[in-house]
Amino acid sequence: MNVSSAPGKFYATDNTTVIGLNADLARAIGRVLDISVEIQDVQFDGIIPGLSAERFDMTIASMAATAPRLEVLDMIRYGEWGSSLAVAKGNPLGLTAETLCGHRIAVQQASIQADKRLPDLSAAHCEAAGLPKIEAVVLPSQNDAVLQLASGRVDGVFADTPVLAYATVQQPDKLELGAELNRSPVSIGLPKDSELTPAVQAAMQVLMDSPTYAEIFAKWGLADAVTAEPTLEVPTP
């Protein structure tokens, strides 16, 4: 996982221990399967190549099950959330998801916001109307994006709702959160046809059938981000 954004995956105050929703779920899966779990901090755009090269067995990195990813990964649903826009406190530019034309909006490299959600907004609300397209500022992590917004170097951040909600709680005098868009599943990823896939899916079902799953989500303020079952994702037409 890319250890870069609370409350999903970030470092504790010792700057060594990885904590957060995704880290807790990874360790819980390990306990169900009675295997040790080693969490490695990897740049987001290096995760899928690492899985394909068998350097890692699995990822829990708040990853959406897009068609290109499903070509190379098995993906198991573990939660649901969308994307939101964060702006400076008071929203001095009056920005909404529909009025970002010509503005500098930070997104995480290789994220669904960078690859699909922000380009879709630009095409629908800007380019189709003959307005300047949204200027995507692509950064290594969602934390980097939030820092740039807090320092005034970008006009907004378009990222996972839980990350931005957490950031606005931490910096209520600097940041403000808009409405959520495109709520969709997030999934565990494994190499295509991995022998671990059925075991991980079964382990997630065990967690969902026990109090553990809901408790982990509630611990990180994400009680409304749970999903009904650990569906094995398939490409949609």
Q: Show the CA angle centred on residue 150, arms to residues 145 and 156, nearest 5°.
A: 55
How many whole angstroms separate alpha carbon 48 and alpha carbon 112? Answer: 14
Per residue in 84-140, pLDDT (tens digit) is 999 999 999 999 999 999 999 999 999 999 999 999 999 999 999 999 999 999 999
pLDDT at residue 216 is higher than 70: yes
Tokens of 180: 């959520």
pLDDT of residue 172: 95
pTM: 0.88
| pLDDT 10s digits, 79-88 | 999 999 999 9
Is pLDDT of 236 > 80?
A: no
Query: What's the rounded Cα separation, in Å, for the pair 18 and 3?
Result: 7
Q: Read off the pLDDT of residues 166-194 as tens digits, 9 standing for 90 and up.
A: 999 999 999 999 999 999 999 999 999 99
Assigned architecture for domain 82-183: 3-Layer(aba) Sandwich (3.40)
| Residues forming a β-bridge with 191 | 73
Helix (H), strand (E) at residue 139: strand 135-139
Alpha-carbon distances of 132 from 84, 102, 122, 129, rounded to whole Å? 21, 5, 9, 9
Burial 115-131 (b: 16+ CB within 10 A, else e): bebbbebbeebbeeeee
Q: What's the pLDDT at 91?
A: 97
For residue 124, the model assigns a pLDDT of 97
Q: What is the pLDDT of residues 26-47, one digit of tens each?
A: 999 999 999 999 999 999 999 9
Specify the CATH number of the domain 10-81+184-225.
3.40.190.10
Average pLDDT value for the chain: 96
CA angle (183, 106, 171) in 5-degree steps: 80
Range(s) for CATH 3.40.190.10 in the chain? Answer: 10-81+184-225, 82-183
Phi, psi of 147 (to 5 degrees): -60, -40
Residue written as token pair 């190499």: 191
Asked whether the predicted pLDDT for residue 237 surpasses 70, the reply is no
Q: Residue 93's Cα: distance from chain center in Å?
A: 26
Contacts of 127 (CB under 8 A, 6+ apart): 133
pLDDT bin (cut points 50, 70, 90) of residue 142 is: confident
Residue 163 burial (CB count, 10 A): 28
